[in-house]
Chains A and B, each alone.
Chain A
Amino acid sequence: MGMIDVRNFAKSFDGVQVHKKVSFTVNKGECLGIVGGSGVGKSVVLRSLIGLEKPDSGEIYIEGEEISKYSEEQLIPIRTKVAYVFQNGALFDSMSVYENLAYPLREHTKMSESEIAKRIHEQLSEFGLAEAESKEPAQLSGGMQKRVGLARSIIIGPEVILYDEPTAGLDPYNSLKIQEMILRLKAKGSTSIFVSHDMPSVFAVCDRIALLLDGEIKAVGRPDELREDPDGLLQKFVSGEAG
């Protein structure tokens, strides 16, 4: 059993069966990319891994713990272990960047305010956001908001990181910055799932790539394997023939 195991995940919306039988495994320290056309339900699978959505049927295991039927209270320890990076950052707009980063530290650690300040300064410097500390989220560019969102998600040191389209809508410079950060976190041993349409980023950061199509995972493989298989479904998706 891997760090994350999804078995026969099924979910429907308004009577439409979006996921029929989604199954995949992510091993410790690995980064799995999930790709697929718009509306196939990639983000729903990702959200279900921390209980933001509940599957109609199927099982979700995080480090061997079946969480699909957990209550909000039971999910709290899972959510400190598994971080979710939202597509738009989902920063609290009534708080400054500093307060956004302090939020998980105040909630889940016993750190003093001076320790929190030190930790936040380190994190912001690492993400190239030192000058943004006192700014409100509305004053930041899209790329900076995503970086702050990533910094906030990982500040308490989660074991697993779920990226929901982290590079979507970014210019090549910011996209590269995010990729570098993800690769740095991967080098530190984090397990992750990377949901994206941005194929260059997927190929750059993922160890394996899974194609979600027609409610199922239709193909899984290493980027080099998939590149070398011109008739494969994933290659067809990349070239625009499937999806």
Chain B
Amino acid sequence: MISLSLLEFFGGAYFLVTEVSRELWRRPFYSRLVIEQVYQIGVRSLPLVIVTGLSTGMVMALQFGLGLEKFGGKPYVPKIVSLSIVRELGPVFTSLMIAARVGAGITSEIGSMTVTQQIDAIRALGTSPIKKIVIPRVLGCLIALPLLVAIANAIGVYGGMVVAVADLGLDQQFYMQKVYQTILLTDYMSGFMKTFFFALFISITACYYGLNVKGGTKGVGTATTMSVVTSSIFIFVGDYFLTKLFWVFEQWV
């Protein structure tokens, strides 16, 4: 049963991606709808992303600082915290937060439109739900998520610095100097580039479940849960393979 619904999901998501890639280049273009989505996904998620980034950086610094203190390893805190945030935690935690907030929102919104025949109305009025609904949300995620991750990374490193200075007694200049010395462009990009894939996982999954809601309002709830669970799993599983891919790429460069 589970394998059948998985197969159904992969097939449906594949067709959705195909349709999005085909219709993306065809007129008319709804740039206003894309801007609206960038605002909804990006600007309105900012408080959540700031809290996530800040707490991640602070907790990381505290855990590593206290753990490494016994071995005299406190000076390594800036290096460990910034690398972990930029390569892994910033992109993954931010994407998970967006999957929960935005993915759930997209699925429930489109799902409600499906059960109230608004998606059918879009089609009946001679327009395309892919162009009107799906593409703006996919592009909105593709634009907003990398920007949110960039902000989360910066805030996370800053949060680490606050703890390093206040609780671990490290010098602020020393902390920043170590961060600049440690983080290379390849480190930053290996985390940052993942966000484009995560944005696709979140938006395509959310739109797919929204468009395929069955069984009225109860179905909307089920689809929303499925959307968040599926995109979160994709983020975790995809993260492993993308890390491996970028690692090979870094060695090659």
Is the pair B118, A92 in contact by a Cβ cutoff of 8 Å?
A: yes
CB distance from B149 to the nearest CB of A (A): 28
Q: What are 26 A-B contacts defined by CB distance under 8 Å?
A: A50-B124, A51-B123, A52-B123, A52-B124, A72-B123, A72-B128, A77-B126, A79-B124, A80-B126, A83-B124, A86-B120, A86-B121, A86-B124, A87-B117, A88-B116, A90-B118, A90-B121, A91-B121, A92-B118, A92-B121, A93-B118, A104-B125, A107-B125, A108-B126, A152-B125, A153-B125
Apart from A73-B128, A80-B126: 14 A-B pairs, beta carbons within 8 A: A50-B124, A51-B123, A52-B120, A52-B123, A52-B124, A72-B128, A86-B124, A87-B117, A90-B121, A103-B125, A103-B127, A107-B127, A153-B124, A153-B125
Secondary structure class of chain B's binding surface, majority of residues: loop
Which residue of chain A is the closest to B126 with respect to CB atoms? A79
Residue of B28, B118, B124, B127 contacting most chain A CB atoms (<10 Å): B124
Chain B residues lying within 8 Å of A80, measured Cβ to Cβ, are 126
**Which B residues from 121 to 158 make CB contacts under 8 A with A?**
121, 123-128
Q: How far apart sit A88 and B199, CA to CA, in the bound complex (Å)?
A: 35
Q: How far apart sit A33 and B124, CA to CA, in the bound complex (Å)?
A: 20
**Which A residues from 77 to 125 make CB contacts under 8 A with B?**
77, 79-80, 83-84, 86-88, 90-93, 103-104, 107-108
Q: How far apart sit A77 and B123, CA to CA, in the bound complex (Å)?
A: 11
9 smallest CB-CB distances across A and B, nearest first, come from: A79-B126, A90-B121, A90-B117, A84-B124, A80-B126, A76-B126, A104-B125, A86-B117, A107-B127
Chain A residues lying within 8 Å of B28, measured Cβ to Cβ, are 107
Question: CB-defined interface of B27-63 with A at 8 Å, one 1/0 digit per residue?
Answer: 0100000000000000000000000000000000000
Q: How far apart sit A107 and B132, CA to CA, in the bound complex (Å)?
A: 11
Q: Total interface residues on A, using CB and 8 Å?
A: 26
Chain A residues lying within 8 Å of B118, measured Cβ to Cβ, are 90-93
Residue of B116, B121, B128 contacting most chain A CB atoms (<10 Å): B121
Q: Total interface residues on B, using CB and 8 Å?
A: 12
Is the pair B127, A90 in contact by a Cβ cutoff of 8 Å?
A: no
CB distance from B217 to the nearest CB of A (A): 14
Chain A residues lying within 8 Å of B123, measured Cβ to Cβ, are 51-52, 72, 75, 79
Chain A residues lying within 8 Å of B125, measured Cβ to Cβ, are 79, 103-104, 107, 152-153
Is the pair B126, A88 in contact by a Cβ cutoff of 8 Å?
A: no
CB distance from B25 to the nearest CB of A (A): 13
Which residue of chain B is the closest to A84 with respect to CB atoms? B124
Chain A residues lying within 8 Å of B120, measured Cβ to Cβ, are 47, 52, 86, 90
Q: How far apart sit A61 and B124, CA to CA, in the bound complex (Å)?
A: 17
Is the pair B126, A104 in contact by a Cβ cutoff of 8 Å?
A: yes
Which residue of chain B is the closest to A77 with respect to CB atoms? B126
Evaluate whether A107 and B126 lie within 8 angstroms (CB atoms) in the complex, with A86-B121, A88-B117 already known.
yes
Q: How far apart sit A77 and B126, CA to CA, in the bound complex (Å)?
A: 7
Identify which of B116, B124, B126, B128 contacts A93 (C-beta below 8 A): B116
Chain B residues lying within 8 Å of A103, measured Cβ to Cβ, are 125, 127
Which residue of chain A is the closest to B120 with respect to CB atoms? A52
Chain B residues lying within 8 Å of A93, measured Cβ to Cβ, are 116, 118
Q: How far apart sit A93 and B28, CA to CA, in the bound complex (Å)?
A: 23
CB distance from B33 to the nearest CB of A (A): 11
Question: CB-defined interface of B73-88 with A at 8 Å, one 1/0 digit per residue?
Answer: 0000000000000000
Evaluate whether A90 and B128 lie within 8 angstroms (CB atoms) in the complex, with A52-B123, A72-B123, A79-B123 already known.
no
Chain A residues lying within 8 Å of B128, measured Cβ to Cβ, are 72-73
**Which B residues from 90 to 138 make CB contacts under 8 A with A?**
116-118, 120-121, 123-128
Chain B residues lying within 8 Å of A51, measured Cβ to Cβ, are 123
**Which A residues from 110 to 157 make CB contacts under 8 A with B?**
152-153
CB distance from A100 to the nearest CB of B (A): 9
